[in-house]
Amino acid sequence: MNFAIESISNDILEKKLQSKIDTKTKPVGALGVLEKIALQIGLIQNKENPELKQPTVLVFAGDHGIAKKGEVNPYPQEVTAQMVYNFINGGAAINVFCKQNNIALKIIDAGVNHDFKEIENIIHAKISYGTKNYQDTPAMTQKQCATSIKKGAHLVTETYNNGCNIIGFGEMGIGNTSSASLLMAYFTKNTVAECVGSGTGLQTEAITVKKSILSKVFDTYTPASPLEALATFGGFEIAMITGAILKSAELKMTILIDGFIVTAALLVAHAIDNKVLDYCIFAHASEEQGHQKMLDFLGQKPLINLGMRLGEGTGVAVAYPIIESAINFMNNMASFESAGISGSE
């Protein structure tokens, strides 16, 4: 399960890309973050005319043992499966935004506590019917964790082989903000209380209870490696996203990072190989309170901040047109020379 990730650093190409950006008909730097995105994608694709091919969002769904009790999640566990049906029927926010922006969408059963056996339009990758409750035992075995990572990686390879070069990940899993908070505490060394937030809408008192339950869980374990932390606190959807992120970087795809839970999966990938960051664009700042601290830990700025906290990959789908703008200006804007305009003295 080794991923061979190369750094995108390339001084000669970077100079060429920067010169192409700087000679467009605009004051130097005037397209701000769009210029940074064009440069990054040029370096990722190793070319001066980067292009976006078959943008795709993979949404991984999984259930969490702890969510059965309802102590840390306002919505019941059944909502995970119900939302998967909503994705399949095209009625969820991620369906609407992907359709709007011509993004392909794939839904994956990573480990929902429901049988989708007869259902089409879903990728069957179930590891188990939900994780175990980490209040009693680690969420999954090391073997299940490794299988999840491999499946996530395999799905990315398939998508890449179909011609995709820009990919985003989303998730659905009642209770998964708890997993993400525990992983955040492990990797960023913030206290659990600093990592826990309202998830799908807990009020202040209930957040205090969530903090105390998860602090106790955190103190029960001493994971010795990133993979052990993932197996102990993770969800199947989170582990698949970790594998998917690592494989996407290995394949030199541009990776669009969504909200709190997807960034938690990235924290694991980053601990395994920090070069993954070269390939990542951070789509949005989630309203979930720990997300900003995660972004600070990784030293990243998100493209947009709309107060969203839905998950599903919706931040990615909404921010995608910004990336299209970056690639469009790079390929289609005139230069001072081609337009016959005088540059600065």
Q: x/- binding map, residues 213-242, to ligand DMD, per CB under 6 A?
A: ------------------------------
Residue from 288, 294, 298, 330 in contact with ligand NCN (CB under 6 A): 288
At 60, give phi and psi (nearest 5°): -100, 130
Residue from 50, 130, 152, 175 in contact with ligand NCN (CB under 6 A): 175
Query: Which residue is associated with the tokens 């799908």?
Result: 200
Residue from 16, 22, 75, 150 in contact with ligand DMD (CB under 6 A): 75
Nearer to ligand DMD by Cβ, of 184 and 276: the residue is 184
Nearer to ligand NCN by Cβ, of 230 and 294: the residue is 294
CB 175 to ligand DMD: min, Å: 10
| Interaction of residue 269 with ligand NCN, rule CB under 6 A | no
| Interaction of residue 329 with ligand DMD, rule CB under 6 A | no
Residue from 45, 73, 159, 232 in contact with ligand NCN (CB under 6 A): 73
At 114, give phi and psi (nearest 5°): -165, 150
Q: x/- binding map, residues 3-42, to ligand NCN, per CB under 6 A?
A: ----------------------------------------
Distances (CA, A) of 27 to 122, 193, 336: 48, 46, 10
Q: Compute the residue count for the chain.
A: 345
| Interaction of residue 111 with ligand NCN, rule CB under 6 A | no
Near ligand DMD by CB under 6 A, which window of 2-10, 137-145, 277-285, 305-313? Answer: 305-313
| Interaction of residue 259 with ligand NCN, rule CB under 6 A | yes
Near ligand NCN by CB under 6 A, which window of 147-155, 166-174, 219-227, 274-282? Answer: 166-174
Burial grade of 240 (CB within 10 A; 0-12, 13-18, 19 or more): buried
Among 120, 250, 312, 337, the one annotated catalytic: 312
Residue from 5, 39, 81, 83 in contact with ligand DMD (CB under 6 A): 83
Nearer to ligand NCN by Cβ, of 55 and 199: the residue is 199
Residue from 310, 317, 318, 330 in contact with ligand DMD (CB under 6 A): 310
Distance CA 168, CA 47 (A): 21
Near ligand DMD by CB under 6 A, which window of 9-17, 32-40, 230-238, 309-317? Answer: 309-317
Q: Are strands 56-62 and 254-257 parallel, antiparallel or unpaired?
A: unpaired
Distance CA 259, CA 302 (A): 10
| Interaction of residue 174 with ligand NCN, rule CB under 6 A | yes
Distance CA 56, CA 105 (A): 6
Asked about 312 being catalytic, the answer comes back as yes
Q: x/- binding map, residues 120-159, to ligand DMD, per CB under 6 A?
A: ----------------------------------------
Residues that bind ligand DMD (CB under 6 A): 75, 79, 83, 172, 200, 310-312
